[in-house]
Amino acid sequence: MSTRPRHTFSWFLLILANTLWACSYVAAKFALRDVSVNTMNALRMIISALVVLPFLIVRRKDLNLTRRDLPQLALLAVIGFVINKILEYGGLSLTTASDVALLITSESIFTAALSWLVLRERFKPLTGVALLLGLAGVYLIVERSVVPNIPTGGGALRIVGDLMVVLALVFESFYTVRGKALLVKHPPLLITAVAIVGSTIFWIPLAGVDITLHGWRAPGLAGWLSIGWLAIMSTVIAYLAWFKGLANIDGSAAASTLFVQPLLGTTLAILLLGDQIVPTTIIGGIMIIASVYLISR
């Protein structure tokens, strides 16, 4: 395959991954009506692990896994599929799906910064302006006003949820950058599969404690369909597509495809969940998208 078609297909994979992730926030909201954050994530990762484990076993001879790789892969599992998911979906349970869909684009800011620092990718001229613009957009979405205030009537919990999501994005960005570094030695299947399977070591005990303390309530049909989407589409397929595309695209440039999530994710949240957004939320989202555009140029 020539360079141009390969790059075109890589961009397609990156956009596909973000499209699947954009749908995950609404799906998670439906799932969280029936189960807790830890139980939802545990079921998600167990199902994902059952899907990727056979492929991992079949291709185990082609993976060239060494003992020196294990600590890095374990770190990816903890950062990308445990800490990140606890913060992201714990935050989602406190805030709105539209807020998360808009905030998620700011991951590109952290990904670009880490790509420059860790991968030594080229630092581009408008970087400083873009970063400040994006951070200002994040502030407007979280605060929903120019002047800082602590809203009443549950608004404070929404702010906490938004901030948890932002922190989750820092961990997700580190996962993306470290995962790209490992693509030099290993195929996307290894990075995704090992991280998913490894995360179940943490999720199963967490879910066990949660069920012991609060009891087990089986999800309804909508809950199971949502968990199935999160497991297969938003985890297995989306992460494989992301890392496969990332193998041929710079991390800072790939971050520009994240704009799919606020556009599609917010639309779905408004249509399916009835989320309400205010003018400052829209302005903040536009500022973040503009920041991503400047970073990707």
The residue ranking higher by pLDDT, 183 or 151, is 183
The residue among 275 and 132 whose pLDDT is bigger is: 275
Cα angle value 191/196/202 (rounded, 5°):
130
Distances (CA, A) of 222 to 6, 21, 26, 95: 38, 18, 11, 20
Q: Which of 22-26, 66-70, 168-172, 237-241 is the least confident region?
A: 66-70
Residue 126 included in any domain: yes
What would the mean pLDDT of 147-165 be, rounded to a whole number?
Answer: 73
Tally Cβ neighbours within 10 Å of residue 209: 11
- How many domains would you assign to the chain? 1
What lies within 8 Å, CB to CB, of 22 at 6+ separation is 101, 260, 261, 263, 264, 265, 268
From CA 226, how far away is CA 221, in angstroms rounded?
8
In a domain, 113, yes or no: yes
Residue 7 lies in a domain: no
Is residue 12 in a domain?
Answer: no
**What pLDDT digit, counting tens, does each position of 182-222 carry?**
767 777 777 778 888 889 999 999 989 988 888 888 889 99
Exposed, middle or buried, 241 (CB in 10 Å: 0-12/13-18/19+)?
A: buried
Let me know if residue 125 belongs to a domain. yes
Segment of 213-227, 243-257, 265-279 carrying the highest mean pLDDT? 213-227
Give the residue from 135, 136, 143 showing the smallest Cα distance to 162: 143
Q: For the segment 74-89, what is each residue's pLDDT rounded down to a tens digit?
A: 888 888 889 999 999 9
Range of the domain at 198: 35-296
Report pLDDT for 135: 72
122 CB-contact burial (10 Å; exposed 0-12 / middle 13-18 / buried 19+):
exposed
CA separation, residue 265 to residues 20, 28, 30, 179, 234 (Å): 10, 12, 14, 25, 13
Give backbone dihedrals phi and psi of 27, rounded to 5 degrees, phi first.
Answer: -60, -45
Cα–Cα distance for residue pair 271/227, rounded to 1 Å:
20
Q: Which residue has the higher pLDDT, 1 or 203?
A: 203
Q: For 270-286, what is the mean pLDDT? A: 83
Judged by phi (left if over 0) then psi (alpha if -120 to 50, else beta), residue 40 lies in: alpha
| First CA to last CA distance, the chain | 26
Domain contains 202: yes
pLDDT value of residue 120 = 60
d(CA 115, CA 27): 30
Q: Which two tokens stand for residue 77?
A: 């599992």
Is 264 part of a structural domain of the chain? yes
Domain-located, residue 195: yes
Distance of alpha carbon 106 from alpha carbon 100, whole angstroms: 10
* Residue 188 near residue 247, CB atoms below 8 Å: yes
- Kindly report the number of other CB atoms within 10 A of residue 2's CB atom: 7
**Cα–Cα distance, 139 to 146 (Å, whole number):** 8
Kindly report, residue by residue over 110-139, the tens digit of the pLDDT. 766 666 666 565 656 666 677 777 777 777
